[in-house]
Amino acid sequence: MSSNPVSNPERLAAACKLCGGATVHFMERSGFEIVRCGECRFMFALVPQDYDAASIYKDDIYFTSGGECGIADYDALWRRRLSHFYVPRLDRIRAFHPPARLLDIGCASGYLMRAAQDRGWQTAGVELSPEMRRRAAALTRSPIFESIDQALQSAQRFECVTMFEVIEHLSDPVGIMTQVADLLAPGGILALSTPNCDCPGAIAGEPINVWFDPPEHISYFAADTIRDCLARSGFETLAVEGLEHYCRAMAGDLTFPGWVTAILAPFRRNKRLKPGGLLGKMLERAYHGRMDLYRRTDPADLPRTDVMEVYARKRS
């Protein structure tokens, strides 16, 4: 890693967005410089002053195109992958709060809200894309706000806010998370997920890059910096858990815990298991229906997880 913090005036100006400490060059990706704080190790991409992080997601094409930025075919992605990761988090939230009023920030077409309704929650959503807002409203019959500001102005408050894979898109994470705390009723719970930029695969970014991926992902967290960010925004972190091999699962690859790999070894003959093969197809069905097998709740396993799941309570 090269480090040359003094020759670039823009870099000198880039104080850490969490603690205000001095930052140094970490890497360059897609034409953006990424810096790391020398004090707290928070990392972020240097984006232009007038950069509007929200503009990418206001465009409906984000959800329907496989272009440079975007999530191709959101419905299939939800059905085959996201639902298996996201919905079990609603059951985890129950350990911290019984069903009441839930706001899903970045609700897309409202599938998570629908699953929350099935579990007894009254729901609302925030979604930047007009087409996704229309679909979420039709599916859930719930209010769908076009921004966090609009939700704040509504004066509605919530016992739970869910915010899955959103915070890495924010250029001012403490500012936005402070607003999110304002959306919560006293004692309300925040559940979020975000890539773990400390995990071994983060810099290589394979098989799919969910980590250092500007201009979409511009704030890069690890277990200590997400706790710090939430503490500065008015939250007390209750649990940091994670998903191991999440990215391989998202890419359709079959990666199993050690004990499954050991059982399969005689059949695989050290070859990579092909999802299209007979055994692969059988296991894809059996295994991807149980994505909780990727879930790690032991803090000792956290450094290996691709994605962190964080539960926090609004401080009174």
Q: How far is the CB of 160 from Zn ion (least distance, A)?
A: 29
Q: How far is the CB of 308 from Zn ion (least distance, A)?
A: 18
Would you say the C-alpha torsion 21, 22, 26, 31 has a positive or negative sign?
A: positive
Question: Following DSSP, what letter does each residue of 32-62 receive, concatenated?
Answer: EEEEEETTT--EEE---TT--TTHHHHSTHH
Closest CA to 125 of 115, 113, 114, 135: 113
- Cα separation, 281 vs 293, whole angstroms: 17
Q: Which is nearer to Zn ion, 158 or 221 (CB)?
A: 221
Packing angle between helix 130-140 and helix 111-118, nearest 10 degrees? Answer: 20
Q: Does 16 help bind Zn ion (rule: CB under 5 A)?
A: yes
Q: Does 176 help bind Zn ion (rule: CB under 5 A)?
A: no
Q: Can you read off the two tokens belonging to residue 161?
A: 């806010």
Q: Which is nearer to Zn ion, 16 or 222 (CB)?
A: 16
71 touches 278 (CB < 8 A): no
Contacting residue, 14, 37, 132, 202, with Zn ion by CB under 5 A: 37
161 touches 184 (CB < 8 A): yes
Q: How far is the CB of 55 from Zn ion (least distance, A)?
A: 27
* Residue span binding Zn ion (CB under 5 A) among the ranges 17-25, 120-128, 207-215, 304-312: 17-25
Q: Does 137 help bind Zn ion (rule: CB under 5 A)?
A: no
Tokens 């093969």 sit at which residue?
A: 277
Contacting residue, 14, 34, 35, 42, with Zn ion by CB under 5 A: 42
Q: How far is the CB of 237 from Zn ion (least distance, A)?
A: 17
Q: Which is nearer to Zn ion, 21 or 99 (CB)?
A: 21
For residue 58, the tally of other CB atoms under 10 A from its CB is 14
Q: Which is nearer to Zn ion, 19 or 302 (CB)?
A: 19
* Residue span binding Zn ion (CB under 5 A) among the ranges 35-43, 52-60, 229-237, 241-249: 35-43
Binding site for Zn ion (CB under 5 A): 16, 18-19, 21, 37, 39-40, 42
